[in-house]
Structures are given as C-alpha cells and as structure tokens.
Structure 1
Amino acid sequence: MVLNTSKILEIGDWLIQQALAEKPLEPMLEGLANKLNHVGVPIDRCRMTWSTLHPLFEAETVLWTSGRGIETKRFVHQEEESQEYLRSPIKYMLDHDLDFLRGRLDVTGALAFDLFEELRADGFTDLINLRTNMFMGRSVLPLRADDLGLYVTWATRAPGGFHDTVVETLKQLQRYMSLVCKLGIYPRLITSVADTYLGPTIAREVLGGRIRLGSGSQVRALVWLSDLRNSTGLAEDLSEDCYLTLLNDYFDCTGRAAMEAGGEILAFIGDAVLAIFPIQDGKLTQDAAIRKGIAAARTARGARRTVNARRREAGDVEFDFGVAMCVGEVRLGNIGIRQRLSFSVIGPSVNEAERIEKETKRLGVPVLATSEVVDVAAAHWRRVGSFTLRGTHHETELFGLLADDTRSWA
C-alpha cells in the first residue's frame, strides 16, 4: 500500500493550524479521522485520552466512531483502580513503559484485553495504541506517576486490518497530535485549577489580565455567608483528623448548597463560606438571585440535619452554623504586594453579611437577612428586630427564615 506523502504532510500542517487557531479538540479529532479516510487510511474509530487536574475527575477522553460521531467522557477519581482499568491496554503500556501496542483482532482464540474482545465483537479487525508523554520534568505541570500522557487508539474494520505503511503513518501523526493536544489541554488545565481555587468569576478576572495590584471590577450581587458555630472549641476538643472531617462535612452542607443553587464560592475564610449570586442584566435578575440564595440556605440547613443524624449514629460530634444574606455592591480586586497578590472580595455588603452572621448566634436564629432580601418572599420570613450591627452607627432591620411549617426557624 502506498500513501501520498504530501497529503499526510498536509494533514500534519492542518493539525498545527487547528492548534494555532485554538480549535476545540472534539471537532479536530473528527476532522482528522475524515481527512485520513479521504487519503486512503481506513479509520473507523479513534480515541484520545489524557490526564487532567480537577478535584472530581482524573482523566478526559474524546471518542469518534464512524456513523456515531463524537462522544466525550470524564473519569472520576477513585480510591481504588477499577477492574476495567486494570485489564486495559493503557494500564499494560504504563506498567511496561510502552509507547506502542498493536492488537490484531481478526484472529481466533482469546485476546489479551477485554477492550480487544469488545472491538472484535463489534466487527473491528485491528487496533493501534499509541502513547506520548506531554509534560516532562521542566514543565510547570511535571510528569506524574499516574500520568497517561496522550493515549490515542485507532481502529479499523477493514479486512486484514491496517497495512504496515498505515501503522507507520499513524506513528508519525502521533507527534503532531501530541503537540496539538498539549496546546489544547494546557488552557483546560489552567482554567480547571483556577476555577477550583478561585471560582469561575475571579478566575476569569485573573486569566483575563487583571493581575496588577489594585486592579479589579465591581458587581452587584446577593452576598451569602455562612460560619461554623464554636469552631475554636471544636478544634481544641477534637483530634486533627476528626476536626477536619467535621469541617469538610460542614463545607459540604453549605458550600455545595450554594454552588448547586447557582451561586459562586469566592472564598473559604477559615471555617466560613463566602458566596455570591451575581445580578447581571439578561442573565440573573435581583429577585431570581435572592430566591436562589434562599433556596441554598434551606438546602444547607436540611443537609445539616441529615449529616448530623449520620454523625450522631456514628458517635461523632454534631455541628451547627449560621447563614446571613444581603444585597449590594462588591468589589473583586487584587490586594497584597506587587510580587504576591490575592484576588479578594471587599465592600460594605461583605462586611454587612459578616456582621449579620454574628447576630445569628447571638439571637439564636440560624438564617438572617435584610429587608431587601425578605421583600422577594416575605411569607417565608419573620421579623426579628432592628439592631445596630458591630462597627455601624445605624440600625439594620433583620428577619429570620422560617421552616416549611412556618412555626420554627429553618
């Protein structure tokens, strides 16, 4: 079999152009498969898999199959490696430090891997597995022991499988694909890490170039703040492991509730959770933001009851927390020194939420809010009174969120 070398080089150039144009990897893979078929390389299935940096997922994959199109999948972190992974070609390649593995599927008898058996049953005749390390020791993202690199598989249904010339061509294209994917994956990894540690709003600010001291932006939002009760006493009375477990249970109740309601966590301040529900024209009205914040508070309090029941049954210490809400302008900006910055949230509304939360403990009301919040759904609230918050010279009217039965606090 003879392939047109100039056409293969054109495909390599096309891959570089895709990378420079920052094209998504999914359509790039589909376009590559179509181009290879057009020049006589019989591709019926191709897959790219790579390791990622994400708190929930350890790897991502893009699969193209003739007649089915593109599929994407993320693999969640697992405490133990799955049997599927342990019996996979990539695990074998990692264990034996291989960058190439071929599986002839048009043979009789048992095959080496479950994947080979599945593909043979689906009519495939040959499978090429290629792997390339993308991040080395000098990289900002150094090679990890569990790093897949770029793992690419090519499969065909052609009688007799891949010609040796095709195999060599796919090996040559692997270098192009590794470079393209490295350029495409880097932004994903950076965004994933930035979102994880900064939150999407601040991540966009930082990655968008606001990295000088004093730079930032202002946004109107529902400010949502929660703080753990008696954290100092708990930290003193419990072992480090037990306190950390309690702290994460608390964060799971509050932080998860805020995020799943559509809010964004700006910071974990010690044992407090600071979140906002940004009010944006055309995206989220003030009333909608407030309703989401109220829903988050209810969910958090409900989760606390469920988690405390589990902890009580296990003989663990229970916990409690307060939630405060108000509406106002917040400023997202860089503070610190020029060489070391922190992108923080500041403003009177943040200070007000912090002071209101302190009142939840003093007044024995778990969820407190200002009149601007309450006006959206007044039936769910009861007036507690007017109080001079710490550090202020005026009274603030506060309302407590009622439980669904409206007879007790939420």
Structure 2
Amino acid sequence: MQLPSALSWLIDDAAALPAADALLSGLGARLIADGVPLAGGALTLAVPDPIIAHRTWLWRPDSGAVMEALGFAGGMSADDPGNAGRSWLQGLAPGVVHEDVAGAGADAPMLDWIGPRAFSTDEAERLRQAARFAAAPLAALAAQAKLQAALQAYLGKRSAARVLGRPLRRSVGETIRAALLYADLRGFTALSETIAPASVIAALDAWFDRIGLAVQAFGGEVLKFMGDGLLAIFPVAGESPRSACDAALRAVAAARAGMAHLDQTRAAEGLPPLPFGVAVHLGEILWGNIGAADRLDFTAIGPAVNLVSRLEGLCRPLERPILVSGAVAAETESPLVSLGTHALRGIALPCAVYTLPD
C-alpha cells in the first residue's frame, strides 16, 4: 500500500529539515497535494526561554509565506499556547480549526489547520495521521530548539553558536578584538548583609536588567555574571573598532540613565540607591573554552580583561561611575573628559583614563 505523499515525506525527509517553519510549509503543501483542502496552518512549540513561553509559526498556502508569533512567559497566551494559532487561522477562512497534538506530554507540539469549509471525517483523519507521523521530526526540532535556547540563556547568542559548532575540548577558541565592558555594584556586599535574601535578588535583577539589556540593545553580549558584576563584549567587525567602541559607550549611557530612574523609584519606596562602577576598554581577548578536563567554561581571558577589571577598580578612588581607557578614546568620536594617566594594580604600563560628560 502506497502512503500519501505527506506521510512519506514525513518519514523520509522531514528529519533533515533545519527549522520548524520549513516543516509546517512543507507538510501543508503536501497535504493539499494529497487532496486535503487547507486555507492555513499553524505549528506551536514550547520554548524553554526566560522570556518566551512558546513560538507559533503561521502558514498561508496562497503565498507560501510563514510568519512567526511569540507567546511571552506570564502573558495571556502562555497558559494556552495554541490560542495564537487558532485565532489567526479563524481570521483566514470559515470553518472549524482542526487541532492535533503531535506527540506526548504537556509540551508536545501542536498542529492546527483550517480549510475553506469544515473538514470531512476522512480529511480530519488524514490530518490526525499527519500529526502522528510528524511527532518524531518535531521532537527532534524541539530538542534542538531547547538546547539552543538553554545555551543562549546562559551563554548569549554568539557564545552559544560557537559552543554548538565546535568540539567540547579545552584550548578550543579564537583570538578576537572587542570592546570590553566591566560593571560592578558598589557596596553591595555590605548592603546584602542587612536586607532579606529576596530583596537582594530583586536588587540584583533590577541592576542586571539595566546594564545587561542595555548591552544587548546596542549589539553587545553579556559574557559572564560574577556576583554583582558582569563582563560584556562588543566584538569588532571589520578593520575599524569604532563601531564596537561607540556601541559600548552608548550602552553605558543607556545603563546610566536606567539606573538613575531605578534609584528614583527605590528612593520613593524608602530603599537606598545602587551606586555602580563601569569601565570600558578595547583589546584582544582569547574567547573560548577553559576549565577542568570534564568541566568547561566558555569565557574570555587575556591582558585586556585584566586591564578593564582593574580600570573599574578606579571608579571609587576617582569618584566617577564610568571610566574609559585611552584605547577606546582613540577610536571614538563620542565626547569624553580626560582624567589623566593612572597606574593600575598589576598592569605594567599606566593607563590614560577618561569619563563620560555629566
């Protein structure tokens, strides 16, 4: 007995597809070729992401276009991941949406279809068979998406891509040039000893939201959280480091504005401010794996990392929240104020130090 083309395709070819949108459009086109009338389709996958609860791909057979809709954690659709697909499909054509769970478990993928009319019993059975045969390739795509989302959440997009694409071995990495941003809260250790642990976490989250999201907004990547501090990089693209340096400085300015607003909010609640220090430097780093034989960390090391951390340590004695190295100052047209040349602990040569205008 010859299988319908949609089922044969799911068995033979779907496992090699790179993404869920290709599976949805390919399956929909083959179902139409098998005689099932479709006016649209939707595929929903759960996503283990800190912000996104699920992703829904929406397919139109008339154009072949696939659009993506996101369901955010804590949002109205988070508890009903198929709602986005059903609502969109019901706006396309009359009829009842046919829905199948492709697999087992609470987070199993969901397939929704709608036709120009209500589906017959035979057509609905064909759609159910397609969902059963789609369970295996969709499970593989969901596992791949879960791994990628988890790595991106803990490492960042750039670092996650390199971890996935390279051997899990020590000494696997590359030397890159980047603008480095090192940030740290001031006096937070003493503060954390006087407030409840939940308040400590809330303050840290608020701080990391301001500095971390500012870094991402301007194309950087948080490489490491360290207690109440972080290290971020803005890799240099091409020959000139100007764009990376300018992006890092814009991120610092945005974070400073965000922290000023946060301190106003905290003051209104009777809470102390969160003073901070940020340093920005430009240099070469070794970006890759270090660690024990069976426990690795993907990070950045090198003299430039040492310098930016020591530079941040000058924020307190210089009474400035933001310090910029001479290497960055030489590559940017952003207005800076010179603070002279200073010796840095453990660094052989003195460093020209600048700050942002008030």
Please give the TM-score of this superposition, normalised by the length of structure 2.
0.92
Match for 2:60 among 59, 65, 73?
A: 65
Distance 1:118 1:350 in 2: 52
| Matching residue's letter, 1:396 | C
Match for 2:150 among 193, 196, 199?
A: 193
Q: Quick check: 1:50–1:150 contact (8 Å CA) kept in 2? A: yes
Report how far residue 32 of structure 1 moved. Answer: 2.0
Match for 2:217 among 243, 260, 265?
A: 260
Q: Quick check: 2:179–2:248 contact (8 Å CA) kept in 1? A: yes
Distance 2:345 2:180 in 1: 18
The RMSD of aligned alpha carbons is 2.4
**Equivalence for 1:15:** 10
Alignment map for 1:352-363 (pairs within 5 Å) = 352-363=307-318
Please give the TM-score of this superposition, normalised by the length of structure 1.
0.81
Match for 1:154 among 113, 129, 132?
A: 113
- Larger CA Rg, structure 1 vs 2: 1
Report how far residue 344 of structure 1 moved. Answer: 2.0
- The SS at the match of 1:249 is helix
Alignment map for 1:337-376 (pairs within 5 Å) = 337-376=292-331
2:349 equivalent to 1:394: yes
**Equivalence for 2:186:** 229
Q: Quick check: 2:211–2:255 contact (8 Å CA) kept in 1? A: yes
**Superposed CA offset, 1:111-144 (max 9, x none):** xxxx68993x86523332211345xxxxxxxx5x
Residues 326 and 171 of structure 1, relative CA distance in 2, 3 Å threshold: same
Report how far residue 7 of structure 1 moved. Answer: 5.3
Report how far residue 30 of structure 1 moved. Answer: 2.0
Report how far residue 89 of structure 1 moved. Answer: 9.8
Match for 1:132 among 88, 97, 102?
A: 102
**Equivalence for 2:199:** 242
Residues 117 and 66 of structure 1, relative CA distance in 2, 3 Å threshold: closer
Q: Quick check: 1:210–1:216 contact (8 Å CA) kept in 2? A: no
2:11 equivalent to 1:56: no
Distance 1:116 1:24 in 2: 23
Distance 2:126 2:243 in 1: 56
2:71 equivalent to 1:75: yes
Distance 2:217 2:292 in 1: 34
**Superposed CA offset, 1:359-401 (max 9, x none):** 0111101111111211234662121121111112322111121
Report how far residue 172 of structure 1 moved. Answer: 1.3
Distance 2:87 2:356 in 1: 59
**Equivalence for 1:163:** 120
Distance 2:192 2:36 in 1: 64
Match for 1:287 among 242, 254, 269?
A: 242
- The SS at the match of 2:320 is coil
Distance 1:342 1:66 in 2: 46
Distance 2:82 2:310 in 1: 54
Residues 30 and 133 of structure 1, relative CA distance in 2, 3 Å threshold: closer
**Superposed CA offset, 1:271-328 (max 9, x none):** 111001101227xx30011100111111111111111111111112210111111111
**Superposed CA offset, 1:146-179 (max 9, x none):** x331111222223xx3222222221111122111
Size of the alignment, in residue pairs? Answer: 356
- The SS at the match of 1:49 is strand
2:15 equivalent to 1:25: no
Distance 2:221 2:252 in 1: 14
Distance 2:50 2:272 in 1: 27
- The SS at the match of 2:71 is strand
Q: Quick check: 1:19–1:184 contact (8 Å CA) kept in 2? A: no
Distance 1:292 1:171 in 2: 51
